[in-house]
Structure 1
Amino acid sequence: MSQSLLKLEGIEKRFVMGEETIHALRGIDLSIPRNQSVAFIGTSGSGKSTLMNILGCLDRPSAGRYWLNGRDVATLDESELADTRNREIGFIFQSFNLLPRASALQNVMHPLIYRGLRPAERQRRAREALARVGLENRMDHLPNQLSGGQRQRVAIARALVGQPSILLADEPTGNLDSATTADIMALFDDLLREGQTLILVTHEPDIAEHCQRVVRLSDGQVVSDTLREEHHVQPA
């Protein structure tokens, strides 16, 4: 498993609704190496959100195996899963999910509370993460004092602060205008150059085409998996 950061074999997900069984994922096989940007794309109901929840250890598959950074996720109990989410995965959401009454700095510090770090160390790391996304001068601002793009940068800093193995972004530009979207995608390119692994879940083809690899889902299956050799971000 050392060759892949993420490896899925025969992943299935079934939901029982009354007398009906919904097959959300139907035998997904995927391997994602470190330092790759991957877009999962598909229409509503294609299975991309279900797959994101499994990749993010928010849900368990009905069948199949999932290795994250060499660990078989099926062997982890709920406490270990929570710790894995906190340490291995940085989540970025379309709706930002920021604490409204907390400053940008406090929002970014929040995930580190569960690491047992001292407040001074949490603050140091949070300041570094905000500087990394260009918000050195906005650390004391509340979310409602920030633009949509700035709020998403806070969310990205919060995802980065724990030094995760992977960034998992769910429609990260869905609430942003085109100019701000371009800025956020440029920031993702910078993070990729620094060695980050990035997975985007999107229904927007232009956002997907920005990634090195595009995986298209339909009816819970992978219908295409394209590595775009011409789009390679050189490491810094």
Structure 2
Amino acid sequence: MSSATGMRLRADDLTFRYDADHPLIEGWSAEFPAGSTTALTGRSGRGKSTVLYLLGLMLKPSSGEVLIDGTSSRVFRDAQRAHLRAERFGFVFQDAALDTTRSVLDNVTETALYRGLPRHALEPRGHELLARFGVDVPAQRKPGQVSGGQAQRIALCRALLNAPDILLADEPTGNLDPTTASVVVKALQDHARAGAAVIIVTHSPEVASACDREITL
């Protein structure tokens, strides 16, 4: 299992275009220190989620580069990018993005498939995380049978399963009540304190103020 050991992440002069004439991101650079939380803020349409997907190697920049431990992601083949995402990144999406055909536990442990591990090897860790975040539903229940707050906590468990060096969260509290939101934010803070770089796209001033620093796009 991976652990948060201080992977270095940097964006260097990133530009991203959905079409040739209108760059969404242009000439953007930032570094994301291990052991800290960074809030990405700004008006809707400024490309915050796109930046997150670029940093997470899910999109390729039109120009510029994302550097992982000093190595440009441009040199990575698709299989290498997928392996890095599975081994060293964690993702929390705004809508939880759970597979409704699989059980709660299978959703938490699904990253095992991308890491070449049997699911059962990670089930104890999955149960531990579900208990930690108070997801008090049967592990075999389907995501469609849980509340929105529970679904987001399940997504957080999935993101934390491999103790990722980099955790990327896209509006992780956007649809949550204040109590559940505070649980999610504290978990992200705790993971950063364990040595990870945590990057959170948010419109919430409260979430931004809870981060170590804020970058406005």
Tell me if both proteins adopt one fold, taking TM over 0.5 as the criterion: yes
Q: What residue is the counterpart of 1:226 in the other structure?
A: none
Distance 2:135 2:190 in 1: 15
Question: Is the 1:27–1:64 Cα contact (8 Å) retained in structure 2?
Answer: yes
**1:22 matched to 2:25:** no
> What is the CA–CA distance in structure 2 between the aligned matches of 1:38 and 1:10, rounded to whole Å?
18
For 1:181 and 1:96, the matched residues in 2 are separated by 13
What is the SS of the residue equivalent to 2:98?
coil
Matches within 5 A, 1:139-150: 139-150=139-150
Q: Does the CA contact (< 8 Å) of 2:15 and 2:64 recur in 1?
A: yes
Distance in 2 between the 1:96 and 1:27 partners? Answer: 30
What is the match of residue 188 of structure 2?
188
> 2-side partners of 1:192 and 1:4: how far apart?
12
Matches within 5 A, 1:169-184: 169-184=169-184
Answering whether residue 61 of structure 2 is matched by residue 58 of structure 1, we say no
**1:204 corresponding residue in structure 2:** 204
Bigger RCO (CA 8 Å, 6+ sep): 2
Paired letter, 2:9 = L
Q: Distance in 2 between matches of 1:66 and 1:115?
A: 22
Q: Residue 87 of structure 1 contacts residue 163 of structure 1 at CA under 8 Å; is this kept in 2? A: no
The answer for the alignment partner of 1:98 in structure 2 is 98
Q: CA deviation at 1:137?
A: 5.6
| Letter paired with 2:210 | H
1:62 to partner: Cα distance:
1.4
User: Would the aligned equivalents of 1:91 and 1:159 in 2 still touch at CA under 8 Å?
Assistant: yes
Q: Which amino acid aligns with 1:50?
A: T
What amino acid does structure 2 have at the position aligned with 1:183? V
SS in structure 1 at match of 2:111: helix
Report the Cα offset of residue 127 of structure 1.
2.3
Name the CA shift for 1:24/1:87 in 2 (closer, same or farther; >3 Å): same
Name the CA distance, whole Å, in 2 between partners of 1:160 and 1:39. 18
In the alignment, structure 2 segments of 5+ residues that lack a partner are 1-5
Considering only CA atoms, is the larger Rg found in Structure 1 or Structure 2? 1
Q: Provide the rounded CA distance (Å) in 1 between the counterparts of 2:212 and 2:105.
A: 32
| Residue deviations 1:102-138 (CA, integer Å, cap 9, x gap) | 2211111111012221343132332233234333664
Three-state SS of the structure 2 residue aligned to 1:66 is: strand
Structure 1: distance between partners of 2:140 and 2:70: 39
When normalised by structure 1's length, the TM-score is 0.82
Write the deviation string for residues 30-88 of structure 1: whole angstroms up to 9, x where unpaired. 11111110000011121212211110101111111211233320100111111111112
Partner in structure 2 of residue 116 of structure 1: 116
- Count of aligned pairs between the two proteins: 213
Q: Note the 1:122-137 alignment, pairs <5 A.
A: 122-135=122-135
- Counterpart CA distance in 2 for 1:120 and 1:14 is 42
Secondary structure of residue in 1 paired with 2:64: strand
Q: Structure 2 residue aligned with 1:11, among 2, 11, 14? A: 14
Contact (CA 8 Å) 1:112, 1:122: kept in 2 or not?
yes
Aligned counterparts of 1:208 and 1:33: Cα–Cα separation in 2: 16
Identity %: 36
Residue 86 of structure 2 aligns to a residue whose secondary structure is helix
- What CA distance in whole angstroms lies between the structure 2 residues aligned with 1:14 and 1:43? 18
The separation in 2 between residues aligned to 1:8 and 1:123, in whole angstroms, is 35
Corresponding position of 1:158: 158
- Provide structure 1 residue ranges, at least 5 long, that are not aligned to the other structure: 218-236
Q: CA deviation at 1:199?
A: 0.6
Kept in 1, the 8 Å contact 2:165–2:195? The answer is: no
Residue 21 of structure 2 aligns to a residue whose secondary structure is strand
